[in-house]
Amino acid sequence: MSEVPQPPPEMPEMPYRGEYTERARRARLGWFRATTGAALRSLDATSIDARSLPGNLENFVGCVEVPVGLAGPMLFAGEHARGHVTAPLATTEGALVASAARGARAITRAGGVVTRAVGQRMVRAPFFEFAGLGEAAEFAHRITGHHAELAAEAARVSAHSRLVELDPVQLGRTVHVRFVYETADAGGQNMTTAATWRACRWILDRLCVPPGPSPTLFGVEGNLSGDKKFSHLNMTAGRGIRVIAECVLDPDTLRAVLKTTPEAMDRFYRIGVVAAQHAGMPGFDIDAANVIAAMFVATGQDIASVYESGAAQFSVDPDGAGLRATLVLPNLVAGTVGGGTGLPHQRDYLEALGCRGDAGARRFAEIVCGFALALDLSTLAAVASGQFADAHERLGRPRRVAWATRADLGAPLLQPLLAASLDAPDLAVTGVTWPEEAAGPSIITDLTAQGERRKLLGVLPVRASWEAGGRKGTLDLVLKVKPLDQEVIIEAAKLASLCGGRLAEVYPRWRDWTGFRDLHTRELAVYRSPDPALRRVLPRAYGVHEDPSRELYVLVMERLGPDVILKDTAEDPGLWEPGHVAAAVRGLAAVHAAWLGREADLLGSGLVGQCQTAARMAAMRELWHALLEHNRTEHPSLLDETAARRLRRVIDDIPVWWARIEAMPRTLVHGDFNPRNIALRAGDLSLVAYDWELATLHVPQRDLVDLLAYVLPGDAGEHEVAELVALHRQAVVAAGGAAPDAAVWREGFRLALWDFAVTRLQLYLMAHTHRELPFLRHVVPTVLRLLEIEDHAGEAVGVRSPA
């Protein structure tokens, strides 16, 4: 027996339809929550006044926020766009802004981009169907003689639209009439629809009357206009603004900025054109639509028009020793008045571009085309140099990993660790809250965040409430959730790949030997160590948690509060007074003393991970040279040719001086001992040193070099440096360390300085190419000053610096 169909349940009706008020918005939001079961908390607040939206949107409920990044500035020499322009790009596609910015830098370095908006058209194409071919042909013939009347009718609707052409196209017994308008600074889709409708009413009332042909069917749009669709007709005839951008890149710019050659760019371009022809692509470009979409979103354009606006013709040709690149956007449908361009954020971005007001649309089109050309060039260069594939490397995992969430880091994880640490077996964690405050900068966390963004990583402040034995309390903690070493290694290799040139070629060979191996386990081993010298300088640790199956490595420790000073002061070295520097030196000297000469113990402890050797350092000279040459080119204001020449000699002599390092007494060093990772207790100025993931085996002076590079000024005096080197040795001896004599100790400082200058400092500068590291503005001059001081000190005792 078949079931009797039941009537569908009554559809719940949306409230306040057609009303543009905050009351209506909130009512609709409540209705949306009730009918979907979703919390929708992000929609509670909105920066847009509902009353401003009639004509833009119906049934307003909230906003979607798209992040906006800045590319540029880029030098324009256009008819409407001139001077340096910075483009706002609204996107969530990683590397898009960076790639457009790189292309903009190359174009600007080579002299800028020439742009011209050569025409503007907006098309609407109504259709008229007749009983037979003859009537259709007669109508098509007659209508072109009434251009003046139809233009006058269209002008009654909008002063911005001007009918410039009538183009009847007969397809069987149907005539499509292309009404072609100029629309000034408006995109024009809506106004031309209204203008065309009025003109068509005139046609039907005045022209299609007996004895003339009369249509059996009429529509204001028959799809010949290609509205929001790609069409070959519009590629040639135009719909929107037709705009062209062109630049000439010299070989030096191609090598220095885009990390490729004119020959490679030309060859890869021509291979791509053949493939595009085979695939039947209309036109040819790389990824111009990325810039078009990003600028459309930022400035309130009709987003669906990206489909037709993205049709592009990109070409490159040899130009002398360099390369000429051209991009044509034949139908960029955009405007600077009307539609979404009047919304607050979108209006602000248009104003920043200088595109509000008269002639704004053509200036906007030239800017879009210029930055689209920049992105095409940068992406083509990335493919030609191999950077494109390298930049998309991901860590291969043999199985799916259930990564931790904040819920996993709450009471179940904290309770056993706190119970053991506080010697309270009955302790229960009764609540966990996550303060909103930032936990401070971390280069490694920022680096790995570029990779697997679904994984919870970083330093997370947390407040834990507990009960034990009738007592209650709270603890302010931080949970340091560590990335895998290979995640960091891969992301660093991506940076090298994006640098291109020789650096991109040699870095992969040595990427496992740049100091990042085992960093996810090293620091946990440090905090597990019972060594009293170590424990005196560490923040209080409440335990570590390791779960390799979930790639979860967590350190739970005290949250450093107002009882410490000088935390996160890497960008303000002036805060470090001589007494502060001396306290930091004495604090770490005790750790150096405890492990000095105990190399075998350290290598088996898990504290130092993979350690460098003189033989390997010598083999890696190709990498250190490649880093130096890249940084010399990219950062000439930090590394001039004199400094580069000195460092080249240091790198050349690595086999000699690194063998001396290997022969000296070595110890456990922090490996990143500077104001990004240390602070002092306010009461007694005792040292607090954290972030030990780069701990390694080295001469103890390596940590002193790191500290002085950050806290001394660029004009540090020789006597000041000599006193601090001597203080460090004295503190090691006072703590029971068997330090060598003063001359050998000073030599160890010099060798550690050379090591820092050609390895860690160069890696910092490579990262600085992609993410600004403000502390380098004073660290680099200080390191160069220390090199100069050590040259003089070495000469005074008959030690020759690399020459």
What pLDDT is attached to residue 449? 59
Rounded CA-CA distance 47/345 in Å is 9
The CATH fold of domain 565-796: Aminoglycoside 3'-phosphotransferase; Chain: A, domain 2 (3.90.1200)
Residue 453 in this model has a pLDDT that exceeds 70: no
Q: What is the mean pLDDT of residues 213-219?
A: 92
Residue 179 in this model has a pLDDT that exceeds 70: yes
Paired sense of beta strands 114-124 and 174-182, if any: antiparallel
Rounded CA-CA distance 264/327 in Å is 19
Q: What is the DSSP letter of 283?
A: S
* 392 is known as an active-site residue: yes
Residue 25 in this model has a pLDDT that exceeds 70: yes
Half-sphere exposure of 312 (CA within 13 A, CB side): 27
- Tokens, residue 721: 């440096």
- Tokens, residue 370: 């210029």
What pLDDT is attached to residue 7? 66
Q: What is the pLDDT of residues 740-767, one digit of tens each?
A: 999 999 999 999 999 999 999 999 999 9
- Tokens, residue 638: 């930090």
* 302 is known as an active-site residue: yes
Residue 454 in 3-state DSSP? coil
Rounded CA-CA distance 491/455 in Å is 14
Q: Which residue among 58, 93, 317, 640 is the active-site one?
A: 93
Residue 338: pLDDT band with limits 50, 70, 90: confident
On average, the pLDDT of the chain sits at: 91
Residue 732 in this model has a pLDDT that exceeds 90: yes
Q: Which residue among 302, 485, 518, 693 is the active-site one?
A: 302
Q: What is the mean pLDDT of residues 695-717?
A: 97
Q: What is the CATH number of domain 126-219?
A: 3.30.70.420
In DSSP notation, 58-80 reads SS--------EEEEEEEEEE-SS
Residue 210 in this model has a pLDDT that exceeds 70: yes
* 520 is known as an active-site residue: no
Name the residue ranges covered by the structural domains of the chain.
Answer: 1-65, 72-120+231-385, 126-219, 403-559, 565-796
Instruction: Identify whether the C-beta of residue 626 lies closer than 8 Å to the C-beta of residue 730.
Output: no
* Sequence-distant (≥ 6) Cβ neighbours of residue 780 within 8 angstroms: 638, 639, 761, 765
Q: Per mean pLDDT, which range of 112-121, 143-152, 223-232, 360-369 is the poorest?
A: 223-232
Rounded CA-CA distance 222/214 in Å is 18
Residue 633: pLDDT band with limits 50, 70, 90: very high
Paired sense of beta strands 552-558 and 564-565, if any: unpaired
Q: What is the dihedral of CA 202, 203, 205, 210, to 10 degrees?
A: 160
Residue 445: pLDDT band with limits 50, 70, 90: low
Instruction: Identify whether the C-beta of residue 539 lies closer than 8 Å to the C-beta of residue 656.
Output: no
Rounded CA-CA distance 801/803 in Å is 6
What pLDDT is attached to residue 435? 86
* 482 is known as an active-site residue: no
Residue 36 in this model has a pLDDT that exceeds 60: yes
Phi, psi dihedrals of residue 448, rounded to the nearest 5°: -75, -20
What pLDDT is attached to residue 802? 65
Residue 158 in 3-state DSSP? coil
Rounded CA-CA distance 753/621 in Å is 17
Q: What is the mean pLDDT of residues 53-62?
A: 90
H helix runs in 395-550, sequence order: 411-421, 443-449, 485-499, 501-510, 519-528, 532-537
Q: How many residues does the chain have?
A: 803
Half-sphere exposure of 648 (CA within 13 A, CB side): 12
What pLDDT is attached to residue 458? 87
What pLDDT is attached to residue 796? 52
Instruction: Identify whether the C-beta of residue 376 lies closer than 8 Å to the C-beta of residue 327.
Output: yes
Q: What is the CATH number of domain 72-120+231-385?
A: 3.90.770.10
Q: What is the pLDDT of residues 389-414, one digit of tens each?
A: 555 555 455 557 778 888 888 899 99
In DSSP notation, 174-206 reads EEEEEEEEE-TTB--HHHHHHHHHHHHHHIIII
Rounded CA-CA distance 764/634 in Å is 13
Q: Per mean pLDDT, which range of 166-180, 450-464, 639-653 is the poorest?
A: 450-464
Residue 675: pLDDT band with limits 50, 70, 90: very high
Whether a cis peptide bond, with omega within 30° of 0, leads into 781 is no
What pLDDT is attached to residue 430? 94
Residue 436 in this model has a pLDDT that exceeds 80: no
In percent, the amount of the chain with pLDDT more than 70 equals 94
Handedness of CA 102, 106, 111, 112 (dihedral sign): negative
Q: Which residue among 228, 567, 635, 770 is the active-site one?
A: 228
User: Nearest Cα to 190, choosing from 350, 338, 361?
Assistant: 338
Residue 387 in this model has a pLDDT that exceeds 80: no
- Tokens, residue 344: 């607050």
- Tokens, residue 409: 């880091």
Q: Which residue among 84, 232, 392, 792 is the active-site one?
A: 392
User: Nearest Cα to 326, choosing from 271, 264, 384, 376?
Assistant: 376
Burial class (CB in 10 A: 0-12, 13-18, 19+), 204: middle
Rounded CA-CA distance 366/794 in Å is 59
What pLDDT is attached to residue 295? 97
The overall longest dimension of the chain from CA atoms, in Å, is 117
Residue 188: pLDDT band with limits 50, 70, 90: confident
Rounded CA-CA distance 493/292 in Å is 30
What pLDDT is attached to residue 455? 80
What pLDDT is attached to residue 184? 85
Q: What is the mean pLDDT of residues 563-570?
A: 95
Phi, psi dihedrals of residue 494, rounded to the nearest 5°: -65, -40
Instruction: Identify whether the C-beta of residue 575 lies closer than 8 Å to the C-beta of residue 566.
Output: yes
What pLDDT is attached to residue 237? 84
Q: What is the dihedral of CA 439, 442, 448, 449, to 10 degrees?
A: 40
User: Nearest Cα to 117, choosing from 335, 296, 320?
Assistant: 335
Q: What is the mean pLDDT of residues 416-442?
A: 84
What pLDDT is attached to residue 444? 64
Q: What is the pLDDT of residues 456-500, one digit of tens each?
A: 888 999 999 999 988 999 999 999 999 999 999 998 998 898 888
- Tokens, residue 444: 């490694």
Question: How would you classify residue 379: left for phi > 0, otherwise alpha for psi between -120 and 50, otherwise beta?
Answer: alpha
What pLDDT is attached to residue 61? 92
CA angle, residues 776, 495, 622, in degrees to nearest 5: 85
In percent, the amount of the chain with pLDDT more than 90 equals 72
Instruction: Identify whether the C-beta of residue 773 lies closer than 8 Å to the C-beta of residue 444.
Output: no
Asked if the domains 72-120+231-385 and 565-796 are classified in one and the same CATH topology, the answer is no
